[in-house]
Amino acid sequence: MAKVLESATFTLGNGKQAKIPIGQFINNEFVESASGKRMDVYNPATGKVIGQVSEADAEDVDLAVKAARAAYEKNNRQWGFMMHAQRGAMLNKLADIIEANQEELAAIEATDTGKLYRDAYSKDIAGVVATLRYFAGFADKITGKTYNVIPGLHAYSKYEPIGVCGQIIPWNFPAAMFSWKIGPALATGNAIVIKSAETTPLSALKMCEYIREAGFPPGIVNLITGRGPTAGQAIADHMDVDKIAFTGSGPIGRKIMETSAKTNLKRVTLELGGKSPNIIFDDAKSAKDAAEWAFFGIQMNMGQVCTAGSRILVQEGIAEEFTKEFVKLMEGVKVGDPFDDNTTQGPLNSSMHFDRVYGWVQTGCKEGAGTPVCGKDMREQLGGGYYISPTVFTNLKQDSQILSNEVFGPVVSIQTFKTEADAIAEANRTTYGLASAVFSSNHERLLRMNEAIRAGTVWNNVYNFAHFGVPFGGFKQSGIGRENSEAALYNYLETKSVISNMGYVRSPMANL
């Protein structure tokens, strides 16, 4: 039996200390990995190690999957088929516990990710609570249909949980994505093996402590803390995982689909990248209003958002005024400590990600015809954290790499267009189709644009508002399936049809 690990004390970015579990969460215990290896956890605001957690490999994934399978099958699949209202009650209790610990969990999230503490508290963790309560309400409301289409036969359909679900979440919104994944999966009666991102394991570990406290049966939720190429790949490879849900990059999403085809044809849902267009027409409410929304569209979470409005398309009549307003906002960004109330942009999440984003900034600044704001490396200036200032590109060439590649940082381009048709063509030019926005006071134009843009979300006169009650996902190479809302439930359900002879349909052998 694996060794149970005690929680460790982590010093958070606000100077307070928090006791956080560090082991693999399997069968409601935090245990040592089979290899005994550990991973360093860094504070992005300082670039320094603040502790270690257990590092999982394939053997640990196998143990977690076996625990999930045993829990799912126990007592004739009691969890999936008999405890509908109880499942909802447990999800609501989990939400209550998280809400009671919202301040500490938000501080853990801000320390681990580098996001602003005020956002972690009021948006991320508050959103976790609301998401869990939303899906708790569906637990006892998933019903089938009756079909009176064949005389003499009674036919009906019913929904059943898929079984053991592997889930892999990203580092940019670890707490929020944890709730987006487990909420619908648990409400529909599945068992889970979820892997946190290697750079941001802390909030998921803490929430697993709350899961045990909320009374979830052992093995229903299992958390793996490990690296993508080892632990993540092991989940995708496992022959007893029935479904996998992944949020992350396009190349890894492709690899997961390939692995599913080569193994047991796991059900696959993917939420991948984006290069989202934000289209500003000259009949927008005002250049200032559009600039403020565009600023939020790229600066939310330091641009580390798959829906980031990183391609601003502005109609020529308003372009000069809009650019002036937007550049002024970007130049006014205060980069610094995520726990400082005056800070408007914290650090990037990791050293590796900093190198990637700054590499794009340097490339773009060299090739850009106009760069009113070029991002600066602020690591040394701000004490070693992964800090970079914002970048605004203008007049980039059409074949510029910045216009087609996801940077995932506070880096944005501004392009101009003449006609509505030009805007549509440019908006749809990339291989992505996750999100988009249109700013206009012309209602008919908004309707036309909403139809023409190939993206899973089109915002009108607003940007970067996702809600647990509204479907979220991508067109084209931005993903498969939808998260949030009732739509997310069906990612975790199988439809079974039952056809019964009521005594009126004779055997096909009766006339022989």
- Residues 6 or more apart from 137 whose CB is under 8 A from it? 88
Q: Give the other-Cβ count within 10 Å of 17's Cβ.
A: 11
β-pairing, 243-247 vs 267-271, is parallel
Helices (H), 215-315: 233-237, 250-262, 287-299
What is the Cα gyration radius of the chain?
24
C-alpha–C-alpha distance, residues 434 and 454, integer Å: 8
From the candidates 104, 109, 198, 271, give the one annotated as an active-site residue: 271
Distance from the Cα of residue 96 to its chain's centroid: 22
C-alpha–C-alpha distance, residues 54 and 290, integer Å: 46
What the block records as the tokens of 46 is 């300082």
Nearest of 267, 245, 238 to residue 167 by alpha carbon: 245
C-alpha–C-alpha distance, residues 227 and 140, integer Å: 36
Query: In angstroms, what CA-CA distances link 495 with 3, 7, 157, 159?
Result: 40, 42, 7, 5
β-pairing, 38-43 vs 24-26, is unpaired
Query: In angstroms, what CA-CA distances link 253 with 264, 269, 350?
Result: 17, 9, 21
DSSP assignments along 373-437, one per residue: E---B-TTTTTTS--B--EEEES--TT-GGGTS---SSEEEEEEESSHHHHHHHHT-SS--SEEE
Which residue bears the tokens 């990248």?
273
Which residue bears the tokens 């990600």?
353
Amino acid at the residue 246: F
Let me know: does 178 contact 128? Beta carbons within 8 Å: yes
- Residues 6 or more apart from 154 whose CB is under 8 A from it? 146, 499, 500, 502
Active site residue 271: yes
Amino acid at the residue 199: T
Amino acid at the residue 335: V
C-alpha–C-alpha distance, residues 348 and 355, integer Å: 10
Coil/strand/helix, residue 287: helix
Helix (H) or strand (E) holding 63: helix 58-82
Residues identified as active-site: 271
